Chain A
């Protein structure tokens, strides 16, 4: 039986016809009405993704990354949600589309790789049918053609003996294999924008490297745009064009990848970078953990939401929310006392005098590592980053 191809409700210009960014998010707010009050999961986020480029979105659990991705996809729950702002994808406003119009976007234009491949796949349906489903219903291929395409897809994501794997159930595959199947499903209809929500969290480092390489290769081959969401700055360091750091539902710093790492402005970005254990450090190096934990989004106090954990915090931070300021081309940050500025250095010094724990932790870790790496200065170490900041800009 051949399924008729569903009639499309939306027109999408060919890839070559369009200029400008493929995705434009403008002042997006997504809040959930809960018994504890309004939870502002995404609180005024704006960004753009250019065609064929990769944007990394980085933040801790609860910073609103996943809700942001779901708002972009238009797959939020239908009740108890308040959403304002605009998400424009290829000239269409995702927020104003009807469910049937949205279905023209999902899969063929925009696709999502979910975080947990264990639960995102249907456990009682064979892998093959989960891949061919969209090929048959969206693209309108017949059964044999869909199957051939599925074999090709599995091959392209690096699954050995793909014909045999089509008949497997998800539980028969390892975690890395399941994630590859998820990627194959997302790529089946050739989307222009791929959203990957923590695609490698919970996988081994070796498999993580394979999956990230695979995403990069497929992206280049298909000239897709990609949004890579993660909590680990190390994952996005070598694999993105631009990075946005999220905290408590807001973007607190955004810059091209090299600028973000070399000219960090936001204390939160600096702290995230410093908390990564590095192979270049001797063992038993004390890590610079960020004290405390992310704020409860239902009980946001006034002022900067990072203030309670910040080493640079001043009275002003507790009262006024810092706006996003521009530090250079494409570099935005939200901080009153940015890292590497005279104000920031002054704020840190006064916090040190006041024995603020966060400031003392920062001073201790950079002091220690500066001593350790002094004989062989290396560009990437937090020690040199902070010394260069202290010296200039």
Chain B
């Protein structure tokens, strides 16, 4: 997996088009290629979910799209303007169209400023409106993200909870009415209950303000909830791009399948499978040849070491970069069989039955009586 290519880009006027992005850090021996030939596009009103493990380059990609990361190759086009060819002044102006919400809600706000000052700041930087107008806009925005401005606007970030800080960050990011909102792991530092509040808020804002979003996260369940299209990233490359329903029902890439299997189900009757992926991400200083996932891939063959897979369309709108992608019918079976060592035959049989044929809106398989029994036996 983890291949190159641009087959998944859509013709027409995308709001954002990133092509062949290459971003490197360091120099000489220790040169790290954090992002290596990644291409994607986002059309207006769409939410693209970007998923991957820590260190796969998803945040760096987000920074590149936010125009705050120097590129070593490739281009970022916003509204059909290639940002590589604009003046510094235009670039600065263009950054107002792309705003970001960061992972750690508390440290992304200045601890010495009051909430209202932080939210007014973007307007002050650009000299928009008078001070009282800026204040009015800031209060409106705070109210729209569910913050009681009367009580909270005069407070400092340390007096707020993580969820409230994240709301303030969102209000601040929306002050300049950006064309694209980049959310970099906005909920991974929050409790599940608060996470649900923030996800619902983003959903409402997207509808009321017709937001276009790039949503970066490592949790596939969260990404599924917010996205219209999902891109899976591994070690600086894209593996698979598809609408969420398709991606979750029929993952074509072994890595996507492994990521899906790792999500814990809030149901004690679903047996906990064995770990589908072993080890950590290989070092990006010395990535494996050919397909970058082959060192952890249950299906790796000689061809994977020699030849880098290119993005290809396996179904309408479903793109994968893998030489031996999983077929819809066998997807779950083969991946699970290949990587598990200690499953009982009953569970294996269940996977075979439940894997591809069910009208799956329950990926790990809702518990059948046999399965419940086998899971008890398993424990």
Binding site for B on A (CB under 8 A): 60-61, 158, 160, 174-177, 202, 204-210, 212-213, 216, 231-235, 237-239, 257-258, 261, 271-273, 275-291, 293, 373, 376, 378-381
The reply on B55 being an interface residue by CB < 8 A is yes
In contact, B196 and A237 (Cβ under 8 angstroms): no
- Of A160, A282, A293, most buried by chain B (CB within 10 Å of CB) is A293
Q: In the complex, how many residues of chain B place their beta carbon closer than 8 angstroms to a beta carbon of chain A?
A: 63
In contact, B161 and A280 (Cβ under 8 angstroms): no
| Residue in B195, B203, B274, B363 whose CB lies within 8 Å of A286 | B203
Residue of A nearest to B164 (CB): A293
Q: Given contacts A209-B275, A213-B272, is CB(A280)–CB(B192) below 8 Å?
A: no
Residue of A nearest to B218 (CB): A204
The reply on B265 being an interface residue by CB < 8 A is yes
In contact, B272 and A283 (Cβ under 8 angstroms): no
Contact with A along B220-250 (1 / 0, CB 8 A): 1110111110000000000000001100100
The reply on B124 being an interface residue by CB < 8 A is no
| Residue in B219, B225, B264, B364 whose CB lies within 8 Å of A285 | B225
Binding site for A on B (CB under 8 A): 53-55, 161-164, 188-189, 191-197, 199-200, 203, 218-222, 224-228, 244-245, 248, 258-272, 274-281, 358-359, 361-364, 366-367
In contact, A231 and B192 (Cβ under 8 angstroms): yes
In contact, A239 and B272 (Cβ under 8 angstroms): yes
In contact, B262 and A206 (Cβ under 8 angstroms): yes
| Residue in B189, B200, B260, B261 whose CB lies within 8 Å of A287 | B200
In contact, A280 and B361 (Cβ under 8 angstroms): yes
Contacts of A258 in B (CB 8 A): 268-269
Contacts of A373 in B (CB 8 A): 361
Residue of B nearest to A261 (CB): B268
- Of B195, B267, B280, most buried by chain A (CB within 10 Å of CB) is B267
Q: Give the docked Cα–Cα distance between A231 and B366 (Å).
A: 23
Smallest CB–CB gap between B367 and chain A, Å? 5
Contacts of B225 in A (CB 8 A): 277, 281, 283-285, 287
Main secondary structure of the interface of B (DSSP, over half): loop
| Residue in A216, A275, A284, A285 whose CB lies within 8 Å of B195 | A275
Main secondary structure of the interface of A (DSSP, over half): loop
Q: Given contacts A276-B192, A287-B225, A376-B361, is CB(A232)–CB(B245) below 8 Å?
A: no
In contact, A282 and B191 (Cβ under 8 angstroms): no
Q: Given contacts A258-B268, A279-B260, A279-B364, is CB(A284)–CB(B192) below 8 Å?
A: no
- Of B227, B263, B274, B364, most buried by chain A (CB within 10 Å of CB) is B263
Q: Give the docked Cα–Cα distance between A273 and B192 (Å).
A: 9
Contacts of A231 in B (CB 8 A): 191-192
A205-B259, A206-B276 given; 6 more Cβ-contact pairs under 8 Å: A160-B279, A209-B261, A213-B275, A277-B196, A376-B361, A379-B269
Smallest CB–CB gap between B371 and chain A, Å? 10
Contacts of A206 in B (CB 8 A): 53, 258-259, 262, 275-277
Contacts of B191 in A (CB 8 A): 60-61, 231
| Residue in B226, B275, B359, B367 whose CB lies within 8 Å of A284 | B226
Contacts of A204 in B (CB 8 A): 53-54, 218
Residue of B nearest to A62 (CB): B161
Q: Give the docked Cα–Cα distance between A209 and B364 (Å).
A: 14
Instruction: Show 27 A/B contacts (Cβ-Cβ < 8 Å), sorted by A.
Output: A60-B193, A60-B194, A174-B280, A177-B280, A205-B263, A206-B275, A212-B272, A213-B274, A216-B272, A231-B191, A231-B192, A234-B266, A237-B264, A261-B266, A271-B193, A276-B221, A279-B224, A283-B226, A283-B244, A283-B245, A287-B225, A288-B196, A289-B196, A373-B361, A376-B358, A380-B362, A381-B366
